[in-house]
Structure 1
Amino acid sequence: MSGPAPSQLQPSPPPTARVAPPEERRRRLSRPVAFASLAVVFVLFMAASSAPSPLYVVYQQEWHFSATTLTTVFAVYVLGMIGALLVLGALSDHLGRRPVLLSAIALEAVSMVLFLTAGNVGLLLTARFIQGIATGAAMTTLGAALSDLNPAHAPHRAGLVTGTAPTFGLGLGSLGCGLLIEYGPHPTRLVYVLLLLALVVAGALLSALPETSLRRPGAARSLQPRLRIAPHLRADLLSLVPILIASWALGGLYLSLGPSVAVGLFGLSSHVVGGLVVTLLTGPAFVTALALRGWPVGRTLAVSATLLLVGTAVALTGVEEHSLTAAALGTAIAGVGFGGSALASFGTLARIARPAERSELLSVAFVISYLAFSIPAVIAGIAATHAGLQDTFVTYAATVAALCALALLAQRLRATRTPATGGVPQA
């Protein structure tokens, strides 16, 4: 049997790609290696973003600040991220993917140095804000670059990575940091040293990344804060908004107050448990996204919304009844819904956008997600200071459950309107 044609082994670059001279191509990563490297860097950024979560309790004990301050530290990261998404979201469409990613790596490294030297809340806030800017600049560029390098034989692989990297990275960062706090030396320093070393390696990889986006004018104009969606993409994005809000609001609850709930309501003082609280949500999310990658979009969204609702309700019952088993089980069930919704949502957006629209569309989706991720968490932090942790958690979880019900209704209406799209597989 004859093998594949040479053109099948080496796919031609997309129309927007810059063709490098021969001497430059010899120094660049191959397309498969570049794709894998981008996926690893995506996970690294997400792991770095969740690593401080188990440390919040440590900082709170050392510096004696309130739950309101704790969630402010959490939210200032999202503020920096959203600012970067609004201002820098389309920059790589004009300057190229590699320069923007290398700049994001450098800025992330600066934030790690600030974390290492932080001795008060002010420096911690500054570090988180800079980290948010770096992550926001990187996320849409990574998503666009992955789509640019998507293998021809697996057209939905970029969407799979974009949908699974956040959940896998968030779980890895929180659990890994929890283990280092509990068993390693220098609990507020070691994790940042390791992340800084990983960023150096990531910078070396990205410096050899093949450029896939043609430089074009309008870079300065693209920095004007805006949320623009091409008209033909608006209906698809709007149909995904309820489940994006429901799932990421739940994620914000666990990353901001989850470790505090484990300590304050269940008396679990181990820092590993603080990391496990987040991993119980994000671990099943990652596994689910891998398992459901071949499912039709409509079915995945409907099942995900249902499991988000059921899981949140079970976790809520566990907290009210002081049942650790029920709270953990509900978190894991909700994690399955979280993973499915991330896969279907971001996989759909990565697939339907044209190359020149990818950064902007992903920026809008990430802004929606991270607003849902942060604003309710800040309100919960303020409420916890005045009304107590348990009442705050119960009210927050009940609100998320209502949002999940709304998301389920939205997906059923969407399936009724466009039944033909429900059979399109995601991967």
Structure 2
Amino acid sequence: MSNSTDTPAPNRSSMVFLGLTVLTFLAASAAPTPLYRIYQENMHFSAATLTLIFGVYALSLLTALLTVGSLSDYLGRKPVIFCALILDMLAMGLFLSADSVAWLIAARLLQGFATGMATSALGAAMLDNDRQQGPLINSISPLVGMACGAFGTSVLVEFAPQPLHLAYWVLLGLLAAQAVYVWRLPESVSPQPGVLGSLRPSLHIPSQARAAMWQVLPVNVAVWAMGGFYLALVPSLIRAATGSNSFLVGGAMVAVLTLSGALAIFSMRNQSATRVLTLGSSLLVVGVSTIMLAVHSGNLGLFFFGSLVAGSGFGTGFLGSIRSVVPLALPHERAGLMSAFYILSYLAFCLPVLLVGSLTRIFGLVRTADGFSVVLIVLALGALLSVFLRRAASPCKA
């Protein structure tokens, strides 16, 4: 089966474009985070409704991954990326018009589907370009994107006019430019039959990658669950714990988490997957513990430090997971495997947050966050134990 076209070999400019496009999609996904407080004040909804608005994004993204996640293996990368860009542009239009919870849910549903469609196609395209650097850029771009979206929107809300609109106009312009440029990329996969069959919901995990996928699952669940918690509830948690009303503080904490994750990924890029996973699990335990000490002491400085450590655990845990799994796929299996990887990741991203949102009605935000943190620490410790057991079984591979 041939999957390469006769177009010129992909080059550095293609990788830059693909990385920036992933960054834009994830920036758009994080942009509403600093705005949730304004939406709550204007529309008078609860923390549970907030987590629902957050959760429908991830559930829609999962639907896309389950149905169109491997579509670019059959149609080619460029048309799938283009369609995802158009859908995300429409989502920005819905955000610009949003004046009720129903509009926000509709915008997040469309945005989630667009991001899910793009994620596997862009990730596979990066691997087509470079199997060595592809996983690295695939790991860094989403984290940098979330930081840009959360902190950039916070800055615009604090200092610029039209706080509920300007960020979406900026993102709309970026997405439109990328939709035009994507057709200049060389196509790395030739069309093949089986398009309709690929739309049946399924997990496309190649047999040679299955063992690695399940081995990294505990740490991957922990880091993505923490990421979901940060994007949905950390600005509200900071306000409840410290009394801070600054939009910049909540956005800055999300940026600290994601940028420290990106820096950790870059710093550990040449280390073995086993070492990266060990470090990621350890840092996650320390970081989450520090964050909860900060919440109970009301100390923003300690919160900042805990976010820095936890973010480093986020990045290294994510890098170790993706490097352990994704390079095992053959070219025509890459989009499907990327889809399966992100399905499991986004389940961890959204389902715990939806549960937390429901529990806040009963126990309050701080006590619920305590319980959530304990679960994250147990998962990270379990992942650490799993790494040690594998190292003991295969010392030559450590």
Match of 1:94 in 2: 74
- Structure 2 residue 178 is matched with structure 1 residue 199: no
Q: Determine the C-alpha separation between the residues in 1 that align with 2:302 and 2:383.
A: 24
Structure 2 residue identity aligned to 1:285: G
Give RMSD over aligned pairs: 1.4
Match of 2:294 in 1: 318
User: 345, 357, 367: which one pairs with 2:343?
Assistant: 367
The answer (yes or no) to whether the contact 1:163–1:345 under 8 Å persists in 2 is: no
Structure 2 residue identity aligned to 1:42: V
Match of 1:124 in 2: 104
Superposed, which structure 2 residues align to 1:75-224 within 5 Å?
75-150=55-130, 155-224=131-200
Match of 2:6 in 1: 19
The answer (yes or no) to whether the contact 2:69–2:121 under 8 Å persists in 1 is: yes
User: 252, 274, 277: which one pairs with 2:250?
Assistant: 274
Q: Using the TM superposition, give the Cα deviation of residue 323 of structure 1 relative to its aligned residue in structure 2, in angstroms.
A: 2.5
Larger-Rg structure: 1
Q: Using the TM superposition, give the Cα deviation of residue 414 of structure 1 relative to its aligned residue in structure 2, in angstroms.
A: 2.1
Match of 1:61 in 2: 41
Q: Determine the C-alpha separation between the residues in 2 that align with 1:131 and 1:420.
A: 45
Q: Using the TM superposition, give the Cα deviation of residue 15 of structure 1 relative to its aligned residue in structure 2, in angstroms.
A: 5.7
The answer (yes or no) to whether the contact 1:319–1:394 under 8 Å persists in 2 is: no
Structure 2 residue identity aligned to 1:318: A
Q: Determine the C-alpha separation between the residues in 2 that align with 1:359 and 1:403.
A: 28
Q: Determine the C-alpha separation between the residues in 1 that align with 2:201 and 2:313.
A: 32
Q: Determine the C-alpha separation between the residues in 2 that align with 1:42 and 1:416.
A: 37
Match of 2:325 in 1: 349
Q: Using the TM superposition, give the Cα deviation of residue 81 of structure 1 relative to its aligned residue in structure 2, in angstroms.
A: 0.2
Q: Determine the C-alpha separation between the residues in 1 that align with 2:45 and 2:163.
A: 19
Normalising by structure 1, report the TM-score.
Answer: 0.91
Normalising by structure 2, report the TM-score.
Answer: 0.97
Q: Please, which runs of 5 or more residues in structure 2 have no aligned partner?
A: none
The one-character-per-residue Cα deviations of 1:84-115 (angstroms, maximum 9, x if unpaired) are 00001111000000000000000000000000
Q: Please, which runs of 5 or more residues in structure 1 have no aligned partner?
A: 1-13, 423-427
The one-character-per-residue Cα deviations of 1:194-233 (angstroms, maximum 9, x if unpaired) are 0000001111121211111010000000000011322211
Superposed, which structure 2 residues align to 1:242-321 within 5 Å?
242-321=218-297
Structure 2 residue identity aligned to 1:394: D
The one-character-per-residue Cα deviations of 1:379-398 (angstroms, maximum 9, x if unpaired) are 11111223211111111111
The answer (yes or no) to whether the contact 1:164–1:342 under 8 Å persists in 2 is: no
- Structure 2 residue 27 is matched with structure 1 residue 47: yes
The answer (yes or no) to whether the contact 1:313–1:397 under 8 Å persists in 2 is: yes
Relative to structure 2, which stretch is displaced further, 161-170 or 344-353?
344-353
Q: Tell me which stretches of 4 or more aligned residues in structure 1 moved more than 4 Å.
A: none
Q: Using the TM superposition, give the Cα deviation of residue 75 of structure 1 relative to its aligned residue in structure 2, in angstroms.
A: 0.3
Q: Determine the C-alpha separation between the residues in 2 that align with 1:34 and 1:303.
A: 32
The answer (yes or no) to whether the contact 1:248–1:369 under 8 Å persists in 2 is: yes
Going by fraction, where is helix more abundant, 1 or 2? 2
Identity, % of aligned positions = 36
Structure 1 residue identity aligned to 2:316: G
The one-character-per-residue Cα deviations of 1:313-339 (angstroms, maximum 9, x if unpaired) are 111122123232222211110111111
Structure 1 residue identity aligned to 2:224: W
The answer (yes or no) to whether the contact 1:311–1:332 under 8 Å persists in 2 is: yes
The answer (yes or no) to whether the contact 1:171–1:282 under 8 Å persists in 2 is: yes
Match of 1:10 in 2: none
Match of 2:52 in 1: 72
Relative to structure 2, which stretch is displaced further, 251-260 or 345-354?
345-354
Q: Determine the C-alpha separation between the residues in 2 that align with 1:344 and 1:382.
A: 32
Q: What secondary structure sits across from 1:214 in the alignment?
A: coil
Q: Determine the C-alpha separation between the residues in 2 that align with 1:362 and 1:419.
A: 29
